């Protein structure tokens, strides 16, 4: 692939995805700046310490001898074109920037393509979510759920489910909820004593106040936790929200209390934020659907870049386990 | 002491307090029924299994061969006059009822005297509480606190602080709060960087939703936990209440959030119900004032009936410790 | 209902199920003896201490002044007809036997009806299980699974899944496996990267060596743990069995190793018997399907005898939680 | 501020405190060397790796291309004058030394001003301490306490309370003790059943053997733990000391035993060094006064450099919490 | 066996050891009273609740309808002759006293034979202990050890090593120490870098202050913990004693410190009373010799009454394990 | 010591062992490459990051500006001659390679001398092991043990006992087993109720499947864990092996089960890999012999390079303790 960088013909540089980089590669292409800080090197010059990303992953890079103009040009969530070398430092790959410029309109590249996103379209997932709400027959449960989702739609379309860890991708929260709804729907056909209304509403609302706990850009990147997010957390924020909306829509107190209990208990263990454990079966199942969905996601992601009969690295969110890729056919 | 039981002159029975009973005693006097259940003995007759109490303590008793009339007469929170024998069974004293009748007006005994109460008068403690609220200068903090206390006054005058354990006595919750306020007031003269408004409000509100978590009789006896109390707990209930009242009095959102954080974190450890640990010094101190007050109360109570140079029994709420009574002068 | 006990006309005794007994009831009917021991009373006479059961539950009973003939007649797993009174002792109901005799052929009662059983027929569940094996396409996985199930069929038709706790009912193990297969089948349609062969085989084999760990009667009642069961446990026994069968059917070593890993890790936590945590997604899901199925079973069972807006007792296998019955419609 | 470094007029360098440094600053001024080691750089030249301090904080610095003369000049606890640049490396500020010389008499700078000290004068705190001892009425308790404090006076005037963490400042131990005495005095007015003699003595003695556990310079800087400090620890050392002094002053055995119990139990949890938990109320309160004083100190320190509505960094000694600065007025 | 009880010829009663009793037995013989309390039965008469013992074990018994004369006659550590019946109550055997009288001189029974004792003679073990001390070559270590053993000889000859649990038998402490010395002697021939002087002294002194922690009768029965034992514990008491004796014999401070460290760390885990873990190999080995000796003792004791291919009951001091008796030859 | 490096006479370079290196040393000599990786420096040149070892220890080194020829020459387990400088970086010594070449035949150096080995000859230890097997009298136990050792002989002669930690030296596993056999032999003379056959076999087999769990070079260096080692672990692998061999030699099922139980339980705690705790005394002792041998080894190793009255560094495998070297004579 040949292309021009600021008018100069470049030959034989590789246009790889980040997850294909190897030590020794000379690469070029478009990347998203996910984080940047200005630092001073041991020879007393400033440089930019940048996290570059594409849809396949992230890499740390250095732009040495940076100017103050550079500091203004290369900021978070900017798309850039660059040429660089890949080396290894302390067991991790690093990108040394040789040339860099901001992406321009004529480049015809779409920032959306540089962000890891849920594998399904937001709008389609959102419509599917609405259908699940439509299936709720208890009018109070439906009223509360419907109201909160309406209020949340804008953010829900792009918010990730976490700062890092599982589903920390664009629309990750919505994707997480939809997958859990599908699983919950199936399992409540097997465990028929469960109340589907409660289960669907619990799934839909369980993490909804992550929209208030974290600040995220429209690219689905969490920039920080909010103050209230840190002092109270999304579980408490979610309970306060249900309480308010329940009053607004005139819902039965028992309904509000049960939904609040489901939110409160869905992390299951006190040390993970749930002061009460589930006391209704729908809350119990909610917890396990949540955990299954995050584990299946994290394991699939871990195995993506692993060969058959090999182990992944240790993965912190999976209790520091390595995951093994079988070759069973 | 001689007196009549149903018209019969009784001679030389002792009128002791429960905490003075010894195995072998023959006693008589007035007692409060704190709990009762109808059971069937091995010879297939019904009997009443009763918990009797006076202001000094409690004892289990049996009214053998009970009639259905008895079942109607002797119910929870009734005051009775009885004659009985004290024996020991499996290391604990037991009262065998010989004669029993309900207390009558002409007995001139006051049920209040049979209930363990806080050592200060409710109304005086309440007035002192109001003075602490008056000293809060931030109007939002004062507004929220004042509103909640006004709403709670009736119950606050007699509620205990717990079903069993520390301050499970009449007006125990109010006494607990007042003692903490006095300590907090003193310590914030030493740690002068603390905000007294926050500290006072945090102390006053920290357990206030125990009024909603538990049902208690006017004698300060908890009969059960409410459904919401079990599914959510007084910490979550307290946060919801502050949220509502803050909106009602138009308080600043930061103020509500900080008070909610203080409630949320005051049990300190996740396994004791606080998903967040204190992140402001006032919340940190609130926790320790709370724990000091309950420990000083429980230890003083444990040592009441212990001689110098002796140990108390193991006390469950004190991590199953024995407490030692020194003879230091 | 009137009927004869040893030729005597009995009038107005109630023929209730055990879970309907109340203190004060006079009852009669047929019951299964689940356990019995000979004891000596305080007046120095022997009596029988018996656990009676029907399909609805169990109750402790006493046959006072027992003879040595009684000791021979009334032994474990015998069906008897009896008349008795129900009383309460230390918060639990107790049955005092007034009359008792062994069930006779002419009574026309079927012992099967007195044992708690899985809600589906063993043979039908077994056939469904075979269909899941038929769907396994990897011939080594199918070979191992098929061989072990063939060997296990006799016991599998009636074994419970545990001595007490979840699925400790007749055919409980088979019912547990079938329900998990249905759930696993559904969820692997959602998490499509999973290998269904491994998942089905893992589910089928995960508890299969409970047949070797415990001794159970054909009524599905565990009488004791085997010596090997105590010294090694069903996880290790299961691994040894897979290893042997894999060699027998000439299976690939990788296949045997993966199935053994799934068995080894399915309790997830070291303290529950799994020295390794799951390292393949199929093993991860196996664990959660197992736990969901036992929780849904235990919670449903706990709520059976609870009224709306009430809590169950604390249930040990559910981490000592109480479960709440909602009244949501 | 203009001043001369080795006779050369320097212009426009800033004379900031360390806690005001920012990446990119050129600074000059006097600093205390708190630690130093000789290292070899990648280009095979030696350099000095130095920790500089002033009363506001500490910073790591490098003196590149150091000579053996440098190694002799710049040692621990020396005061130096230097000029340097501030840069950031791996998220922490670093000082690159441009010029450096030892402080000279004519500089008229006082080393005391470069050390973080307690906010009150040692001698005044010491005198206040003596007054508390004077208030002890039990002559054995007073005798033991008085004797130990007399022996300890020299070190007590400057020792910190720890190597790092809470009160690791000059006279930090004395300041810690005095603050606790003030709190203890106030709270024993509220909890009147406490024995003030025991409480005061326990507070005064609880950490006194830190003087033996650690070696500290007169600047209040801990250089190392003593051998006995490591093998036994200050709690055991303190008990041995009380035992000896009690014998010396002829104190009652019960008194010595109680003071030893207070020392032994004041860390409360076995994993923090207390094999016995408090069994007298004075020991219980001692523990909580200790923990309150360290937390109030650490939180105040953490918030010093934080703006309103911001969080501090995570602070290890505060269980890795962030602390929040409110803007409540 | 025929013999007279208060002048009456008794025929065919069995003279079994306690560990041979079965429900239904009629027994007679001599037993030691290990504990007794006066209680009142449900029919309002007093009775004696007695723990009887012989060298094979213990059993609970009841002497119904006791007189005040009985209360004086039958006290702790008295030897009695009795006739009774054995029955089972709540899974445990119980002895109902039919006849009882104090043992008399003419009975010619020796109380020593009714107490569980170490399997070797105290004096012989003591002499062997002295030989180990003689082998210590470091004069300070020898001096301290020798002095303490001399002071302790009287009690050491009969003290148990614990109130219950391992080696809670007459001379159990001495037996425990001797066995450990033998093991330590052997293992230090294999691990030749160890200092035998330290190891021997550590073994000899490690539990020596149990003599001060507990009060025991000359039969080796612990009656209670001393006050100092409860407030400080034998580890701290042992350290104080070494400190004192070291000063008395003019020993090197390093020696005292090391021995104190060995005592301090020999329980290894903070939650078992050791605030410091072993930091010298001799202390490390001391801990494991201690634990091996108690485990071998407890397991041998547990298996004494178990048949081949059977399990013992769950044994609390063995982490609630059952122990299995193999039939391997 | 003068010698030639590639034909050049070198003067006055020191030929120290690695554990004698100090910062500032110029050294030369022969070393073994234990690990190597190619990295890129900040100036974009490749260099080799090498772990050098001799029999005394290991050190990290850098060969700057490496060529691709270097990468081929200097690989794991190669012996090299080199000249370099020692400096300190972040508290650890580092070797900068000045000259390096592969060792040649004419150097007359033996790679065996550069590897840390057990202090006894493998063949002699192996022969001693066989003698212990000969002493086993139960033919089934002897048959299983003998068969497995025969199969394992080749690897057993050089395998370490671990990747890092205790006995991670050439023939470390064999040395570990032999030392434990000697200790077990001695202690079973003291605890005479133990079955020596079981104990010896348990000791011999307990870690034998480490030969399958890890891949190690003939120098006793573990290169990696096998897949089965990671998915199952040596305990499970060992059980499978005993099961197979027991069937092969026709051993009694009870014997196989007991040996498997000993393997299964020898790590004692579930979190260290033992789902069952020891239930026979031989298994209990096996565990403690194992732990004593590893601790004595690790502590002796830690103290090798420590002066009297000094502490070692914190050592991770010793629960992060420092070990103290006494000066007791």
Minimum distance, in Å, between the CA of residue D32 and any CA atom of chain A: 23
* Residue C178 DSSP one-character state: H
- Do B10 and B27 touch, CB atoms closer than 8 A? no
Q: What end-to-end distance do the CA atoms of chain C give, in Å?
A: 37
Which residues touch A233 (CB under 8 Å, ≥6 apart)?
A213, A273, B275, B276
Residue B177: per-residue pLDDT: 98
For residue A87, give the nearest of F37, F44, F231 by CB distance. F44
Phi, psi of D206 (to 5 degrees): -55, -40
- Residue B136, SS3 per DSSP: coil
Phi, psi of F190 (to 5 degrees): -90, -45
Q: For residue B48, what are the β-bridge partners?
A: B38, B63
- Do C262 and A328 touch, CB atoms closer than 8 A? no
Q: Is any Cβ of chain E less than 8 angstroms from the Cβ of D248?
A: no
Residue C91: per-residue pLDDT: 54
Locus of tokens 């049979």: B114
d(CA C183, CA A306): 28
Indicate the pTM of the whole model.
0.86
Q: What end-to-end distance do the CA atoms of chain E give, in Å?
A: 37
* Strand ranges for C6-122 from DSSP E: 8-10, 26-40, 46-54, 57-63, 79-89, 92-102
Which residues touch F198 (CB under 8 Å, ≥6 apart)?
E326, E328, F141, F258, F259, F262, F280, F282
Residues from chain E contacting residue D228 (CB–CB below 8 Å): 257
Residues from chain E contacting residue D256 (CB–CB below 8 Å): none
Distances (CA, A) of B122 to A20, B126, B210, B220, F297: 74, 6, 17, 12, 68
Locus of tokens 């930090």: D172
Residue D43: closest CA among chain F residues belongs to which residue? F96
Residue C9: per-residue pLDDT: 40
Minimum distance, in Å, between the CA of residue A62 and any CA atom of chain C: 36
Task: Count A/C contacts: CB-CB distance under 8 Å.
Answer: 115
Which residues touch A318 (CB under 8 Å, ≥6 apart)?
A295, A298, A299, A302
Q: For residue F54, what are the β-bridge partners?
A: F57
Single out the residue of C312, C321, C318, C322 nearest to residue C297, CA to CA.
Answer: C318
Percent of chain F with pLDDT over 90: 58
Task: Count D/F contacts: CB-CB distance under 8 Å.
Answer: 24
d(CA A74, CA E222): 78
E172-230, pLDDT tens digit by residue?
999 999 999 999 999 999 999 999 999 999 999 999 999 999 998 887 878 789 999 99
Give me Rg for the CA atoms of chain A: 23
Contact at CB, B296 and D195, closer than 8 angstroms: no
Minimum distance, in Å, between the CA of residue F53 and any CA atom of chain E: 25
Mutation choice for F interface testing from C213, C235, C270 by most F CBs within 10 A = C270
For residue E190, give the nearest of F183, F321, F326 by CB distance. F183
Mutation choice for E interface testing from B47, B88, B312 by most E CBs within 10 A = B88
Greatest C-alpha distance within chain D: 70
Contact at CB, B244 and A239, closer than 8 angstroms: no
Indicate contact of C with A: 3+ CB pairs under 8 A. yes
* Strand ranges for chain A from DSSP E: 3-5, 8-10, 26-40, 46-54, 57-63, 79-89, 92-102, 214-216, 222-225
* pLDDT above 90 (res C92): no
Strands A57-63 and A46-54: antiparallel
Q: Which of residues 78-97 of D touch A (CB under 8 A)?
A: 85, 87-89, 96
Which ranges of E16-115 would DSSP assign to H, the alpha helix? 68-73
B3-22, pLDDT tens digit by residue?
333 443 333 456 788 888 88
Task: Count A/F contacts: CB-CB distance under 8 Å.
Answer: 24
- Do E295 and E288 touch, CB atoms closer than 8 A? no
Which residues touch A43 (CB under 8 Å, ≥6 apart)?
none
B175-225, pLDDT tens digit by residue?
999 999 999 999 999 999 999 999 999 999 999 999 999 998 887 878 789
Q: What end-to-end distance do the CA atoms of chain F give, in Å?
A: 36
Single out the residue of F32, F14, F137 nearest to residue F77, CA to CA.
Answer: F32
d(CA E46, CA E38): 7
Minimum distance, in Å, between the CA of residue A90 and any CA atom of chain D: 14
Minimum distance, in Å, between the CA of residue D40 and any CA atom of chain F: 5
Indicate contact of F with E: 3+ CB pairs under 8 A. yes
Distances (CA, A) of F16 to B74, D4, D46, F107, F172: 93, 49, 22, 17, 25
Q: Is any Cβ of chain A less than 8 angstroms from the Cβ of D314?
A: no
Minimum distance, in Å, between the CA of residue B281 and any CA atom of chain D: 6
F258-296, pLDDT tens digit by residue?
999 999 999 999 999 999 999 999 999 999 999 999 999
Contact at CB, A279 and C311, closer than 8 angstroms: yes
Percent of chain D with pLDDT over 70: 92
Q: Is any Cβ of chain F less than 8 angstroms from the Cβ of A288?
A: no
Residues from chain F contacting residue C232 (CB–CB below 8 Å): 239, 257, 260-261, 264, 276
Contact at CB, E183 and F182, closer than 8 angstroms: no
CA dihedral B298, B300, B304, B308 (to 10 degrees): 120
ipTM of the modeled complex = 0.83
Task: Count B/C contacts: CB-CB distance under 8 Å.
Answer: 25
d(CA F102, CA F96): 17
Indicate contact of B with C: 3+ CB pairs under 8 A. yes
Q: Which of E220-224, E230-234, F3-7 has the lowest mean pLDDT?
A: F3-7
* pLDDT above 80 (res C166): no
Which residues touch F54 (CB under 8 Å, ≥6 apart)?
F17, F18, F29, F30, F31, F32, F113, F114
What number is the average pLDDT over the span F30-56?
79
d(CA D132, CA D125): 11
Residue D11: per-residue pLDDT: 38
Residue B11: per-residue pLDDT: 38
Chains with 3+ CB–CB pairs under 8 A to F are A, C, D, E
Q: For residue F311, what are the β-bridge partners?
A: F324
Greatest C-alpha distance within chain C: 70
Greatest C-alpha distance within chain A: 70
d(CA A117, CA A127): 18
Q: Which of residues 28-57 of E touch B (CB under 8 A)?
A: 37-42, 44, 46
d(CA B292, CA D190): 11
Phi, psi of E98 (to 5 degrees): -95, -50
Mutation choice for B interface testing from A231, A243, A268, A284 by most B CBs within 10 A = A231
CA dihedral D221, D223, D228, D234 (to 10 degrees): 20
B60-115, pLDDT tens digit by residue?
899 988 877 888 889 887 899 999 998 876 556 789 999 999 999 888 888 778 88
Mutation choice for A interface testing from F39, F230, F231 by most A CBs within 10 A = F39
Q: Which of residues 170-229 of D touch F (CB under 8 A)?
A: 227
Both structure tokens of E172: 């159990």
* pLDDT above 60 (res D5): no
CA dihedral B112, B117, B118, B119 (to 10 degrees): 70
For residue B87, give the nearest of E37, E44, E231 by CB distance. E44
Chains with 3+ CB–CB pairs under 8 A to B are A, C, D, E
For residue D236, give the nearest of E239, E269, E272 by CB distance. E239
Q: Which of B52-56, C248-252, D291-295, F42-46 has the lowest mean pLDDT?
A: F42-46
Residues from chain D contacting residue B254 (CB–CB below 8 Å): 309, 326-328
Residue A226: per-residue pLDDT: 95
Q: Which residues of A215-233 are buried (b: 16+ CB within 10 A; e: fewer)?
A: ebbebbbbeebebbbbbbb
Locus of tokens 């007399």: D150
For residue D227, give the nearest of F24, F96, F309 by CB distance. F309
Residue C223: per-residue pLDDT: 75
- Residue C307, SS3 per DSSP: coil
Contact at CB, A87 and F40, closer than 8 angstroms: yes
Mutation choice for F interface testing from A21, A23, A322 by most F CBs within 10 A = A23
Q: Which of C248-252, D237-241, D305-309 has the lowest mean pLDDT?
A: D305-309
Contact at CB, C89 and B40, closer than 8 angstroms: yes
Minimum distance, in Å, between the CA of residue C54 and any CA atom of chain A: 23
* pLDDT above 60 (res F4): no
> SS3 letters for chain F?
CCEEECCEEECCCECCCHHHCCCCCEEEEEEEEEEEEEEECCCCCEEEEEEEEECCEEEEEEECCCCHHHHHHCCCCCEEEEEEEEEEECCEEEEEEEEEEECCHHHCCCHHHHCCECCCCHHHHHHHHHHHHHHCCCHHHHHHHHHHHHHHHHHHCCCCCCCCCCCCCECHHHHHHHHHHHHHHHHHHHCCCCCHHHHHHHHHHCCCCHHHHEEECCCCCEEEECHHHHHCCHHHHHHHHHHHHHHHCCCCHHHHHHHHHHHHHCCCCHHHCCCCCCCCHHHHHHHHHHHHHHHHHHHHHHHCCCCCCCECCCEHHHCCECCECCCCC
Both structure tokens of D192: 């009147």
Single out the residue of C65, C291, C250, C243 nearest to residue C139, CA to CA.
Answer: C250
C221-245, pLDDT tens digit by residue?
787 899 999 999 999 999 999 999 9
Both structure tokens of D309: 């509505």
Residue segments in chain A with a per-residue pLDDT below the cut of 50: 1-12
d(CA E302, CA D222): 53
D119-155, pLDDT tens digit by residue?
999 999 999 999 999 999 999 999 999 999 999 999 9
Q: Cβ of A240: how many Cβ atoms within 10 Å?
A: 23
Which residues touch E38 (CB under 8 Å, ≥6 apart)?
B23, E46, E47, E48, E49, E66, E71
């Amino acid at each position: 692939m040949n292309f021009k960088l600021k008018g100069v013909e470049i030959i034989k540089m590789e246009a790889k995805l980040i997850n294909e980089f190897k030590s020794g590669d000379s690469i070029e292409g478009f990347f998203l700046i996910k984080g940047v800080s200005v630092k001073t090197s041991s020879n007393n010059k400033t440089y930019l310490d940048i996290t570059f990303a594409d849809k396949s992953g992230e890499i740390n890079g250095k732009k040495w001898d940076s100017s103050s103009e550079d500091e203004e040009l290369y900021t978070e969530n900017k798309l850039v074109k660059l040429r660089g070398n890949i080396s290894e430092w302390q067991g991790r790959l690093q990108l040394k920037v040789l040339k860099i410029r901001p992406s321009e309109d004529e480049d015809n590249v779409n920032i959306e393509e540089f962000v890891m996103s849920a594998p399904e379209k937001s709008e389609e997932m959102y419509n599917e979510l609405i259908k699940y709400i439509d299936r709720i027959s208890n009018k109070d449960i439906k009223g509360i759920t419907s109201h909160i989702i309406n209020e949340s739609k804008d953010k829900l379309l792009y918010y990730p489910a976490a700062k890092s860890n599982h589903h920390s991708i664009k629309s990750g929260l919505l994707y997480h909820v939809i997958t859990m709804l599908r699983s919950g729907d199936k399992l409540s056909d097997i465990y028929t004593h469960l109340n589907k209304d409660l289960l669907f509403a619990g799934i839909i609302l369980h993490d909804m106040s992550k929209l208030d706990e974290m600040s995220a850009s429209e690219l689905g990147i969490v920039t920080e936790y909010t103050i209230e997010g840190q002092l109270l957390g999304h579980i408490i924020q979610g309970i306060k929200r249900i309480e308010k909306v329940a009053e607004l829509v005139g819902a039965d107190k028992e309904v509000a209390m049960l939904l609040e209990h489901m939110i409160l208990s869905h992390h299951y263990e006190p040390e993970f934020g749930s002061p009460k454990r589930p006391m209704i079966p729908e809350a119990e199942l909610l917890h396990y659907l949540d955990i299954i969905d995050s584990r299946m996601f994290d394991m699939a992601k871990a195995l993506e870049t692993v060969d058959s009969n090999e182990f992944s690295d240790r993965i912190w969110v999976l209790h520091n386990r390595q995951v093994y890729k079988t070759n069973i056919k």
